[in-house]
Amino acid sequence: MIRVLLADDQALVRGAFALLVGSASDMEVVGEAGTGDEAVRLTRDLRPDVVLMDIRMPSTDGIEATRQIVADDGSSGSRVLILTTFETDANVLRGLRAGACGFLPKDTRPDALLDAIRTVATGEALLSPGATRAVVTRALSRPDAPAPERLASLTAREREVLLLVAAGRSNQEIADELVVSPLTAKTHVGRILAKMGARDRVHLVIAAYEAGIL
């Protein structure tokens, strides 16, 4: 079971997410937080697999709460998926720098949100198309953006996988597309991360744009 903590200052929103998560046979809601401080405390106490985190909350906001969760040894094993109405460039970048593993708008389709929770729970990063554009735009606007020399070390298949990662595909979707096993897809992604010196899939997306292959 994927254990989920809901953090949002609106009880009605938390209730809707609780019903959705509870409808999935492989998930359960283990707690609800109405403030950022409460989200930090409950994450430390309950150690959920995934925290669905709103940004705008009383006292400590969701981004600062995310930073505290990731920095705390007692809660760093929990992965934060930010859901927000305010998908601005600044919010996306602040959330990623704080350590969030995913970023989605609140109007995401219910089935897509459940899939996103599963993706983040497995240790993968996930961004909505809007969040990806924000990250890429900011990265390409830096005058000191590094040239992607390491791209030359990728094999033809690894370049193909990189394109699929940049398109937002999960390991399972990559496996289906290339007719390989999920383990093989995961191995390809791991090798690409190592060759590119990238921390996560988000940095691979940036590299793909910088290299002009998208």
* pLDDT tens sequence for the chain (214 residues): 999 999 999 999 999 999 999 999 999 999 999 999 999 999 999 999 999 999 988 889 999 999 999 998 888 789 999 988 765 667 777 887 788 888 888 888 999 899 999 988 987 777 766 666 666 566 555 554 444 566 778 899 998 998 888 777 788 889 999 999 999 999 999 998 888 877 677 767 766 666 666 5
- Strands (DSSP E) contained in 24-158 are 27-33, 50-53, 79-84, 102-105, 126-127
Residue 164 CA: distances (Å) to CA of 18, 45, 156, 193, 202? 32, 37, 13, 14, 12
Q: CB of 99 within 8 A of CB of 69?
A: yes
Q: Tell me if residue 24 falls in helix, strand or coil.
A: coil
Return the axis-axis angle of helices 156-166 and 171-178, rounded to nearest 10°. Answer: 130
Amino acid in position 166: A
Q: Can you tell me the distance from the alpha carbon of 199 to that of 146, in angstroms, rounded to the nearest whole number?
A: 15
Looking at residue 171, its pLDDT comes to 86
| pLDDT score at 151 | 73
